[in-house]
Amino acid sequence: MTDTLAAILLGILEGLTEFLPVSSTGHLILATEFLGFDQSEWEVFNIAIQPAAILAIVVLYWRTFWDVAKGLFGFEKGALAFVRNLLVAFFPAVILGLAFGDIIETMLGNAVLVCWSLIIGGIAILAIERWANPPAEGPGVAGVPLRTAILIGIVQCLAMIPGVSRSGATILGAMAFGVDRKTAAEFSFFLAVPTLSGATVYQLYKHGSGLTGDDLQLIGIGSAVGFVTALVVVKLFVAVVTKIGFAPFAWYRIVLGAAGLAWLTLG
């Protein structure tokens, strides 16, 4: 398989999984393992294409971002609360990311850990779906209490373990704290903007000097494909979870994790 085709496939995978509770990082790690690629050679690529998914959120929710931007200039309560909630939820990831960055990078090459994380995370989703009782409707991201936003940010840090899923941790964590499904999903989408941006900038700062022109071209291809894919997936995802919940994603995680463990063991 050529590097260009691999970049296209990984871009599609990133767009499909970034905002689903199935772990985009875990999927990219397992995909590079399955394709027989050196994890270290594709590690920066897998992180550098994440801004494409961020751009998809900005495009899909441009009106929300525009209203918040206008509201900030007028010191409107809703806009200030929106930004406050995202910042306090983002802050724990900054602290742990800087403190344990090297350990996190080491875990990114562990496909077995990804598989176990997928399985355990799937079981956790089923448990939360069974016992959590979120309201049918909520006040939106700006209406999430400050304490809840902080707790969501702390739960998001679990996603530093590959295979856990950033979106899964934030969405299910929010639901466990009493946030409705739609608001939980949108909180996760918006929180991805500072979180993924920060992670990408940090990794490119550490490793970007070693990128070649060919590397940048592959990142561009993967990013473009990931952007288009994410545009389609996000809206469908909100519609699905609002109607039927997260159980299908939980069973998918469990099956994929078990299949991955079997393949890694037999291989």
Of the pLDDT bands very low, low, confident and very high (cuts 50, 70, 90), residue 208 is: low
* pTM (two decimals): 0.83
User: Which range (150-154, 194-198, 247-251) has the least confidence?
Assistant: 194-198
Q: Which domain holds residue 16?
A: 3-266
Question: Helix 213-244 crosses helix 3-17 at what angle (to 10 degrees)?
Answer: 30
- Cβ atoms of residues 163 and 24 within 8 Å: no
Q: Write down the pLDDT at residue 77.
A: 93
Please give the tally of structural domains in the chain.
1
**CA 109 – CA 101 distance, rounded (Å):** 14
111-115, 193-197, 221-225, range with the lowest pLDDT: 193-197
How confident is the model at residue 199, as a pLDDT?
78
**Rounded CA gap, 68 and 62, in Å?**
10
Closest CA to 159 of 114, 127, 207: 114
Other beta carbons within 10 angstroms of residue 62's beta carbon come to: 10
Instruction: Enter the DSSP assignment of 140.
Output: -
What integer best gives the mean pLDDT of the chain?
A: 87
* Inter-CA distances, 94 with 160, 162, 199, Å: 11, 17, 9
Kindly calculate the radius of gyration of the chain based on its CA atoms and give it in whole angstroms: 18
Contact 49, 13 (CB under 8 A): no
Q: pLDDT confidence of 132, banded at 50, 70, 90?
A: confident
Burial of 45 (0-12, 13-18, 19+ CB in 10 A): buried
Tens of pLDDT, residues 223-247: 999 999 999 888 888 778 777 888 8
- Decide: 19 and 189 in contact? Cβ < 8 Å: yes
Whole-number pLDDT of residue 190: 93
| C-alpha 199: how far from chain center | 11
Asked if residue 138 has pLDDT above 90, the reply is no
Residue 145's SS3 state is coil
The residue among 82, 88, 42 whose CA lies nearest residue 190 is 82
* Helices (runs of H) and strands (runs of E) counted in the chain: 13, 0
DSSP assigned state of 133: -
Residue 55 vs residue 50, higher pLDDT? 55
Quick check: 209 pLDDT over 80?
no
Tokens of 94: 């900054």
With beta carbons less than 8 A apart as the criterion, state whether 136 and 180 touch. Answer: yes
Q: What is the pLDDT of residue 84?
A: 96
Rounded to whole angstroms, how far apart are CA atoms 200 and 54? Answer: 11
Q: Has residue 29 got a pLDDT over 90?
A: no
pLDDT at residue number 150: 96
